[in-house]
Amino acid sequence: MPSFDVLLEPEMPAIKNAVENTKKEIGTRFDFKGTSAAVELKEKEKEIQLIGDGDFQIEQISTVLLGKLTKQNVLVSFLDMDAKIEKIGGDKVRQTYKIKAGIDSTLAKKIVTAIKEAKLKVQGSIQGDTVRVNGKNRDDLQVGIALLRKEFPDQPLKYDNFRD
């Protein structure tokens, strides 16, 4: 029985490039000279840490980072930017942005209900942070992919693990 998985994953190499470009710009900009301004990507924890001398400097670093991410075609919606700015000693502050990966339960339920309401010859099932779609033939699955692209244009969904 043919199937495919619906995923929601950021392009980590593009994020890494954006962070490296941000580091280069921080190193060359006059307003960051002699300060503790820095950006770090922690790939295992899937987070980006911004370090600066104050809240204003963190905002400046964030603006540079978001610009670099946009140039790399990474959607900013992959970042969870709700973390508070915290003091880490002396006059330094840090803010951590989590990188979202995987489909959350509410979006997964919306995907499955959209497939059911369309009355296609495919079934969707939630499996952890992915949604697996099964059907009787490839053509039905391709119709399912087209439906999901039309229903969720604002979500950068990936269609992976296509099996016959």
Tell me, what CATH number does 142's domain have? Answer: 3.30.70.860
The predicted pLDDT at position 46 comes to: 87
* Domains contained in the chain, number: 2
Both 83 and 110 in one domain: the answer is no
The predicted pLDDT at position 43 comes to: 84
| Tokens 């973390």, located at residue | 83
Distance CA(108)–CA(46), nearest Å, equals 21
Both 128 and 68 in one domain: the answer is no
User: Does residue 164 surpass a pLDDT of 80?
Assistant: no
Mean pLDDT score of the chain, rounded to an integer?
87
The confidence band for 71, taking pLDDT boundaries of 50, 70 and 90, is very high
CA 28 to each of CA 2, 5, 67, 160: distance values in angstroms, whole numbers, following the listed order:
52, 43, 16, 40
Distance CA(94)–CA(15), nearest Å, equals 19
The predicted pLDDT at position 83 comes to: 82
The predicted pLDDT at position 17 comes to: 92
Question: What are the tens digits of pLDDT across the range 81-140?
Answer: 888 888 888 888 888 888 888 888 888 888 888 888 888 888 888 888 888 989 888 888
Global pTM reads 0.76
* Residues 6+ away with beta carbon under 8 Å from 29: none
* Residues 6+ away with beta carbon under 8 Å from 25: 64, 68
The predicted pLDDT at position 103 comes to: 85
| Tokens 């099996």, located at residue | 163
What percentage of the chain reaches a pLDDT higher than 90? Answer: 10
Distance CA(123)–CA(8), nearest Å, equals 19
We report the CATH number of the domain holding residue 28 as: 3.30.70.990
Residue 19 has which token pair?
């962070």
The predicted pLDDT at position 55 comes to: 84
Both 132 and 86 in one domain: the answer is no
Phi, psi angle pair for 100, to nearest 5°: -80, 135
The predicted pLDDT at position 91 comes to: 84
Write out the residue range of the structural domain in which residue 155 sits. 3-8+103-163
Helix (H) or strand (E) holding 125: strand 122-127
Residue 36 has which token pair?
């503790």
Q: What is the mean pLDDT of residues 55-77?
A: 88
Question: What are the tens digits of pLDDT across the range 6-23?
Answer: 888 888 899 899 999 999
Please state whether 34 falls in left (phi above 0), alpha (psi between -120 and 50) or beta: left
